[in-house]
Amino acid sequence: MNNNISSNHRNFDLEAALEIHKLQKASHLLSLNPPLEERLSNLNTLENLLLENKQEIAIALNKDYGNRSIHETLLAEVFTAVDGIRYAKKNLRKWTKPQKRSHSIWFLGVKNTLIAQPKGVVGVISPWNYPLFLFVSPVTSAFAAGNRCMVKMAKESSNLSKLLKNLVDHYFDTATLAIIPDISGSDFTKIPFDHLVFTGSASTARYVMAAASKNLTPITLELGGKSPCIVDSSYDHSIAAKRIMYFKTLNAGQTCVAPDYVFVHEDKLNEFIHQCKKATQDRYSSIEGLDYTSIISEEALNRLQNHIDDAKNKGAKVYNLMRDSKTECIVGKKKLAPHIVIGMSDDSSIMQEEIFGPLLPIKTYKDMSTVSKYINSHANPLGLYVFSHRKSFQNYFLNNTLSGAIAINDCALQVAQHDMPFGGIGESGMGHYHAHEGFKEFSKLKPIFKQAKFSSIELLYPPYGKRFDFILKAMLKLKI
């Protein structure tokens, strides 16, 4: 099961990574279109790896964070990943079937077919915030399509990375799947992959794209941005607050599709603030508890505290939502209480950058057009969340905004819908994985044209003359 090239736990330089790429590429060339059974076997092995080691995975992630809720890891990372694998297995036979395509009447007797073939070796750059799910999810789509995969984990996920490398080396042959530890991002992107997946920030994505372009490597970018919520004045604000605050505090807000800021009607501001406090305090007795996840690093914690200070200095009001409002931050444990921010200026840092933490700015509105104009004047978000039972309100934002996805009456759960593609647009990303679209993302959709025994096109061969003119005139005239 294990290949010697991956059993060495030394740091990987570019040369060592290229050896693994060469091995996987050779394996791909030996089986350019792996059978269904091989693909299902790889997916089954990946599922078994997760199920048989879920507690160890949760413990490793807890170490990487300082405190990462075990329950959140098992739900948001392990279960969601396993559920996606099972969906792919259930649908793989259908996805891999050749598709019949129609032909023009002028090509009598021909047959057109479309087949999906794997691209080859797929590189995956996984981030630190959901390092398991965002490794497994693209690998699931890539395996379904018949590819081999090399994965670079984030340096912040060192404990998980070591564990996963050991597990992958045990469960898989290196020619199929390899974790590349401790390699720099700049070196990893120099590898001539047949496809590259990057999840992270838009600023880093620009460097990744530039590096990939040198090998003409097609790329999928899952980025993020400032995903807004809009709460209709007629919607139950207790439900809206409960659902918004759940995803704002899940993983301490360190989620690419977390609600970044909220629009509430100006007449409902105080009610919404009250409901946000209640929803938070009902869920967490204090930020010291194990259910409340730490910020990933001191640097990230300082960045969030700077957002608070900058907002206050520019006239905003900031409220700690916890019952013990005096405990805003526990520096040693890298824990930051959930806060709401009101009255911040648009030039404050919290409104200019993706927050990636448990801070929730609230803006007020009078009419829907004000909201859509504000959203459309900024980068396209990865998600947009509309809380309303009114069709007219829902449809307004469906038709007057552009985002990676829209969720109605909840947040972020579009990512867990395995029959829908996941991806952004503009600065929130490009390309998709999940669902059939993910299978196609990592496939070359190859058209196959099969000529009939008699070719009608032969009637148009040279020498050109009256017959050609007559047939071409008829072809141009007839509307079929």
56 given a catalytic annotation: no
Q: What is the DSSP string of 381-415?
A: PSEEEEE-S-HHHHHHHHHH---SEEEESSSSGGG
State which CATH number among 2.40.160.60, 3.30.70.980, 3.40.309.10, 1.20.120.450 fits the domain covering 227-418: 3.40.309.10
256 given a catalytic annotation: yes
Please report, for the chain, the start and end positions of each structural domain, with discontinuous segments joined by +.
4-223+432-444, 227-418
Q: pTM score, two decimals?
A: 0.93
pLDDT > 50? residue 307: yes
Pick the catalytic residue from 229, 256, 329, 411: 256
Neighbouring C-beta atoms of residue 15, cutoff 10 Å: 8
Query: In this structure, are residues 430 and 219 in contact, taking their beta carbons and an 8 Å threshold?
Result: yes
Q: How confident is the model at residue 353 (pLDDT cuts 50, 70, 90)?
A: very high
pLDDT > 50? residue 305: yes
What pLDDT score does 323 carry?
81
The candidate with the shortest Cα–Cα distance to 354, out of 145, 461, 200, is 200
Query: In this structure, are residues 15 and 163 in contact, taking their beta carbons and an 8 Å threshold?
Result: no
Q: Tell the residue number behind the tokens 């021909």, with chain if given.
A: 110
State which CATH number among 3.60.20.10, 3.40.309.10, 3.40.605.10, 3.40.190.10 fits the domain covering 4-223+432-444: 3.40.605.10
The mean-pLDDT minimum among 9-13, 249-253, 343-347 falls in: 9-13
Average pLDDT, the chain: 95
Looking at the DSSP bridge assignments, the partners of residue 342 are 317, 362
- Direct distance between the N- and C-terminal alpha carbons of the chain, in angstroms, rounded to an integer: 57
What pLDDT score does 246 carry?
98
Cβ burial, residue 278 (10 Å; 0-12/13-18/19+): middle
Q: How confident is the model at residue 467 (pLDDT cuts 50, 70, 90)?
A: very high
Q: Please state whether the peptide bond connecting residue 447 to the residue before it is cis, i.e. omega within 30 degrees of 0.
A: no
Looking at the DSSP bridge assignments, the partners of residue 339 are 320, 359
Pick the catalytic residue from 222, 354, 427, 441: 222
